[in-house]
Amino acid sequence: MDNNEQKKLLRMMLLIRRFEEKLVDLSKDPQKLGGMMIVCTGQEAVAAGVGAALAPEDVIISNHRSHGHLLAKDAEPDLLMAEIFGRRTGYNKGKSGTLHIAAPEVNALCTTTVVGGGIPIAVGTAFAAQYQQKDFVTVCFFGNGASDEGSFHEALNMASLWNLPVIFVCENNIYSGAQRLEEHTKVKDIADRASAYAMRGEMVDGNDALAVYEVVQKAREDCLAGAGPVLIECKTYRWGGHGTNDEQLYQPKDEIARWKEQCPIKKLKASLMQAGTLAEQEYQDMEYEIRLIVERAVQFAEASPWPDPAEALEDVYA
Amino acid sequence: MQELTLGQAVNQALREEMSRDERVFIAGEGVGVSIHSDPRMATYGLLEEFGPRRVKDTPVSEAAIAGLAVGASVMGLLPVVEIMFNPFFTIAADQIVNHAAKLRYLSGGKSKFPLVVRIKTGAGIGAGCQHSHNLEAWVAHSPGLKVVMPGTPADAKGLLKSAIRDENPVIFIEDMILNFVPGPVPEGDYTIPIGVADIKKPGKDVTVVTWSKMLGAAFKAAGQLEQQGISVEIVDLRTLVPLDEATILESVRKTGRLVVLHEATRTGGFGGEIAALVAEKAFDMLKAPIKRVTAPDIPVPFSKPLENFYMPNEVSLMEAIKELF
Ligand SMILES: Cc1ncc(C[n+]2csc(CCOP(=O)(O)OP(=O)(O)O)c2C)c(N)n1
């Protein structure tokens, strides 16, 4: 990756971070922003690294922690924000809200909040690529908890059997709801589960955006060359609770502090500054620009009309 | 009398039944250590009290959770397992619909499966259709299951105790909004029989058959209509299977009018079953057509004005009732 691309990676992580910080802030007032709110703070390197490795025609299937995935796939911040606000101008006209945003415009075809529900769907989109002899891959995002669902195991088996062009990206953030990894599975590394399906399993530092980018890019090339699916486990950490209503009583404070030291943004910024390719002023300009983008998105959402109640009846059937 | 939410009433029933009978254990996602430390939640504090042998926090594995209940119950345990949100019931459905419901029959009556599956349901929480979907008609359509859907905290406590003591698989569906509404609950041990409806408010002119959260809308409508000279009888079904036909028919014979009210969507909904029952057995007593007030046939939308449009309320109920006169 050249310097410019690395800066783009940094910028994307910063956009995801500031976008979601704003959401968390707004959701403190349920009159302003109601409903469940689930963010990926601390895990931005996975979204950004994967996004940078993908082409526009590549498909992503996302889960409940989706804002970062969508932004990194070049979804419009304005339309995302409006959807999260439940407005008619949002990606899904307010039907979806924060949890299930689909942006087919950028091949973010499905966000499902049914844990593990997206993994078999990724088999289907990858099958379509193989069937139609098209050169695109599917990336499916899910958490460590999702790898306990039957859907994960059935999907990996079939994808491997049929050599499908799909990259399974597990964001192992150590938690599944209030459970720690060792409380929900005996397996230490989710990547090990690949061997049960004769599939390549990779482990990567999920707080290192460059490393994520590289391993996904390689997997993408392999997929397109017909080498079959790959399971990539990104080792990362959920800074906050499961959702904004979670007091995190079960998450050790020193553990959180240790991982905050591993902040993916801080990490890449330091390495770029050390290499002399990024100046503090340039970083400040980036911050400023991103703040404007986020502010504009909130203004767009707040100025957007609510859907008319009867619009609830639309879009059920084609 | 103590004031409890539905979640707290369920909590008390679980605590009392676990103390009473060593065979009762609970399992599910977050039943021990939940992301909420909210004392209004159904399994709050039970891990501390009964320990990890009897309070099993499970992985995200609905099929295995339901299968655990099937296998443990046939061996003589009394599992009470939890499915976090009603839509995820579909992942557990193979074990519940194809196994829990049928294995007694398949054994020629030799085996029994005394298990309870608690499921949280209901719209109104701003979480969209993958967390909010009332699927009681799906389970009611599966012979071999009993289906309970309480609308008050007191009923929830008494019915859950009956469910745990029942020798059959019981699907016990709890509306989440009711976890935030306190109501009076008797202290100590009592049971409410499964399969017995309750006339929550007597009336003369029209019968409203309803259950779960919609009980609140029924009361609001009845109060307003009373002032307009229409006397509403509210029948709270409490149990969908087995169905208390006698109470429904008796009420309709008295009032001559029927409106069925439920939050679930209309087509294939359980309201159709009530309507058919009354049309078959009390048709000649009807002074007006039977009406159903339900959600429209759409998934639960996220946006607030859309979600409000989805849920039936006292206004839609009053409109339907007035059309009968
Ligand atoms: C099928 C299903 N069961 C339960 C839930 C409730 N739930 C939502 S997120 C979650 C934990 C998921 O953990 P993980 O897959 O590790 O993802 P993370 O939240 O850590 O990103 C659970 C249990 C759900 N949404 N879907």
Res. A317: pLDDT tops 90: yes
Cβ contacts (< 8 Å) between A181 and chain B: which residues?
A: none
Mean pLDDT within B107-119: 98
Q: φ, ψ for residue B291 (rounded to 5)?
A: -120, 150
Structure tokens given for B288: 């007006």
Do the beta carbons of residue B132 and residue B300 sit within 8 Å?
Answer: yes
Distance of alpha carbon B186 from the chain centroid: 20
Name the CA radius of gyration of chain B, rounded: 19
Confidence of residue A121 (pLDDT cuts 50, 70, 90): very high
Mean pLDDT within A129-138: 98
ipTM of the complex: 0.95
| pLDDT given at position A36 | 75
Q: Compute, in angstroms, the gap from residue A242 CA to the centroid of ligand 1.
A: 9
| pLDDT given at position B276 | 98
Tell if the CB–CB gap between A177 and B308 is shorter than 8 Å.
Answer: no
Tell if the CB–CB gap between B130 and A312 is shorter than 8 Å.
Answer: no
Q: What is the CATH number of the domain that holds A121?
A: 3.40.50.970
Confidence of residue A34 (pLDDT cuts 50, 70, 90): confident
Q: φ, ψ for residue A110 (rounded to 5)?
A: -160, 130
| pLDDT given at position A233 | 99
Q: How far is A226 from chain B (nearest CA, A)?
A: 32
> Between the CA atoms of B220, B226, B228 and B234, what dihedral angle is there, to the nearest 10 degrees?
70
A314 occurs within a structural domain: no
What are the b/e assignments for A78-90, b being 16+ CB within 10 Å? bbbbbbbbbbbbb
What is the chain B residue with the closest CA to A83? B303
List the single best residue of A26, A179, A311 to mutate versus B (max B Cβ within 10 A): A179
* Rounded Cα distance, B210 and A104, in Å: 41
Do the beta carbons of residue A232 and residue A206 sit within 8 Å?
Answer: no
Give the domain range for residue A87.
3-300
Q: Compute, in angstroms, the gap from residue A51 CA to the centroid of ligand 1.
A: 22
Question: Where in chain B is CATH 3.40.50.970?
Answer: 2-185
List the single best residue of A33, A147, A184 to mutate versus B (max B Cβ within 10 A): A184
Do the beta carbons of residue A38 and residue A27 sit within 8 Å?
Answer: no
Res. A205: pLDDT tops 90: yes
Tell if the CB–CB gap between A100 and B36 is shorter than 8 Å.
Answer: no
Q: φ, ψ for residue A100 (rounded to 5)?
A: -130, 35
Which residue among the candidates B99, B131, B133, B262 is catalytic per the annotation? B131
Pick the CATH number of B198-322 from 3.40.50.920, 3.10.150.10, 3.40.1000.10, 3.40.605.10: 3.40.50.920
Closest partner residue to B302 among A97, A185, A241, by Cβ? A97
Question: Where in chain B is CATH 3.40.50.920?
Answer: 198-322
Confidence of residue A245 (pLDDT cuts 50, 70, 90): confident
Pocket residues: Cβ below 6 A from ligand 1: A 64-65, 113-115, 142-146, 171, 173, 175-177, 238, 242; B 29, 60, 62, 84, 88, 91
Do the beta carbons of residue A190 and residue A137 sit within 8 Å?
Answer: no
Give chain A's domain count.
1
**How does strand A166-172 pair with strand A59-62?**
unpaired
Give the mutation target among A61, A100, A115, A175 for probing the ligand 1 site: most ligand atoms within 8 A of CB. A115
Give the three-state DSSP class for B222.
helix
Angle CA B102–B144–B161, to nearest 5: 125
Query: Mean pLDDT across chain A, nearest whole number?
Result: 97
Is B36 among the residues known to form the active site?
A: no
Under an 8 Å CB criterion, which residues of B touch A?
A: 29-30, 33-37, 57, 59-64, 87-88, 91, 125-131, 296-299, 301-306, 308-310
Kindly provide the residue ranges of all beta strands, DSSP E only, lying in chain B, ordered along the sequence: 2-4, 24-28, 55-57, 78-83, 116-121, 146-148, 170-175, 183-185, 198-201, 206-210, 232-236, 239-241, 258-265, 291-295
Entry field: residues in chain A? 318
> Which CATH superfamily includes the segment(s) B2-185?
Thiamin diphosphate (ThDP)-binding fold, Pyr/PP domains (3.40.50.970)
Instruction: Give the DSSP per-residue string, B54-93.
Output: TEEE--S-HHHHHHHHHHHHHTT-EEEEEESSGGGHHHHH
Q: What is the pTM of this model?
A: 0.96
Place of tokens 């039907």: A95
Instruction: Give the DSSP per-residue string, A65-92.
Output: S-HHHHHHTT--HHHHHHHHTT-TTSTT
Do the beta carbons of residue A294 and residue A74 sit within 8 Å?
Answer: no
For A18, the enclosing helix (H) or strand (E) is helix A3-26
* Rounded Cα distance, A101 and B299, in Å: 15
- A·B CB contacts under 8 A: 124
| pLDDT given at position B38 | 86
Tell if the CB–CB gap between A183 and B57 is shorter than 8 Å.
Answer: yes
Angle CA A246–A112–A40, to nearest 5: 40
Q: Compute, in angstroms, the gap from residue B98 CA to the centroid of ligand 1.
A: 25
A309 occurs within a structural domain: no
Q: How far is A249 from chain B (nearest CA, A)?
A: 8
Instruction: Give the DSSP per-residue string, A110-173.
Output: EE--STTTHHHHHHHHHHHHHHTT----EEEEEETGGGGSHHHHHHHHHHHHTT--EEEEEEE-
